[in-house]
Amino acid sequence: MPELPEVETVRIALKKEILNEKILSVQILNKNLRYPIECNFSNKVVNQRIKKITRRGKYLILFLTKNITILLHLGMTGYFRFSSNVKLIKHDHVIFSFKEKKMIYNDVRKFGFIKVYKSENINHSKHLAKLGLEPLDKELNKNYLSKSIKSSKQSIKAYLMNFKNIVGIGNIYSSEILFDSAIHPCRLSSAISNQEIERLIISIKKILRKAIKLGGTSIKDYKDPMGKIGYFKNQLKVYARDNKPCVNCKKNVTIKKIIIQGRSTFFCEKCQKF
């Protein structure tokens, strides 16, 4: 599933391609995504201009004129592509037409969705209302994290992946962040020291910013709307590297794989003390 850096990469691409463009038509080839696309979706968005494109966690938000907002989630396999002449491929579901281009939404597993809201209601939707802090915001600081972590009964890996605490950090980046900050993923959040919290904040921002700069991580079939893959895969130090030498310890220690809350978790038992 795309995590924050991948979704932010898509946001940047959409901003470049369709910001201030008018939606001339919407063709719904298959309405049955994670949530069925409402019957009057096209009527609500056609002839409106896209005036702002933002991201909240793993959600994309397109603000239109006339007080209408489109909320998008890519699910596990959703992606957009642009074309001047549409050649449909399998799993194309929605086509947005603009003056000189078309934007096609494709989703093999159909876990993504496209919804429309009144703009004043978007932050109160069930998808956004309970989201925690954005990890790259200045509000994610030692004061916030100290209070939040100390009151948590989760492991630190589970804490990072809980969208009610911090949004957008999924399985890949939580493993990389904990390795970078030298914290064992099984440690209880309440046992994390103030010094470790400071390291954690630095690692969160450093890893995510670098991943965004490199276009995210392409593990399976992720690509941005320009068809480019994410090159942060080449920078992964623990994720999916089980039984391979630790990049710090070299040949002495190999990366371990365990399961936390049903998700594969990767770490170095020497670098990341329990």
226 contacts: CB under 8 Å, gap ≥ 6:
13, 82
The one catalytic residue in 101, 206, 263, 270 is: 263
SS3 call for 50:
strand
11 contacts: CB under 8 Å, gap ≥ 6:
53, 54, 55, 60
Q: Annotated catalytic, 185?
A: no
Q: Annotated catalytic, 3?
A: yes
Rounded to whole angstroms, the Cα distance separating 181 from 272 reads: 8
Token couple for 105: 């939404």
The one catalytic residue in 55, 58, 157, 187 is: 58
Q: Annotated catalytic, 2?
A: yes
Q: Annotated catalytic, 56?
A: no
Extract long-range pairs of 221-226: CB within 8 Å, 24+ residues apart. 221/77, 221/108, 222/2, 222/6, 222/79, 223/79, 224/6, 224/9, 224/10, 224/13, 224/79, 225/10, 225/13, 225/14, 225/17, 225/79, 225/80, 225/81, 225/82, 225/103, 226/13, 226/82
Q: Are 112 and 74 in contact (CB under 8 A)?
A: yes
Catalytically active residues are: 2-3, 58, 263
